[in-house]
Homo-oligomer: A and B are copies of this chain.
């Protein structure tokens, strides 16, 4: 059999180019030829590794997700064993937020994909992460009686991400809002009925 090429590597190379195009010019600018040019390869090669455009999009989407999970995992691992719940939660949330350039680029792409998949139910379950699991994870880190706020924490994070991406909040504002929220969650309060 002929040439041996690392398929996955080639596909990732192309997916990276796709994400660069999407981050800079939006998902509508993503075409086979455009991606090929960005990747510095021929359009034929893109076709060779992805039989259809949707297949390419799907693969790129999976790369985005994996990259995000990897970033979060590394940030958390950097905390060492048995970190304090609040610190762990904050690290997790901050790792998801698009704070540095790389994160911003990924965030732009993720946002584009979100709008993209909002219309294509086929690829949706891939992006529709195990949010329920995330909610449980967050709930486990909150003080007792605050379990009901877990979903809100994730929503706050997502919203902060959007405001960051659209440039309406600065990094400082977003982190301040995040910390203010954590203050609220981890502060001792008297609630009227059960909290």
Interface residues of A (CB under 8 A from B): 24-29, 108, 111-112, 114-120, 124, 127-129, 131, 148-149, 151-152, 154-163, 165-169, 173-174, 176-178, 180-181, 183-185, 187-193, 195
Contact = CB atoms under 8 A, between A and B. Distances in A.
B188 A192 contact: yes
Contacts of A127: 166
Contacts of A26: 115-116, 118-120
- State how many copies of this chain the complex holds: 2
Contacts of A166: 114, 117-118, 124, 127-128
Closest 5 CB pairs of A and B: A155-B159, A159-B159, A158-B159, A26-B119, A151-B177
Given A25-B119, A115-B26, A159-B158, A152 B131 contact: no
Contacts of A157: 155, 159
Contact of A131 (B24, B116, B163): B163
B195 A189 contact: no
A152 B124 contact: no
Nearest to A161: B159
A168 B112 contact: no
A130 to B, nearest CB: 10
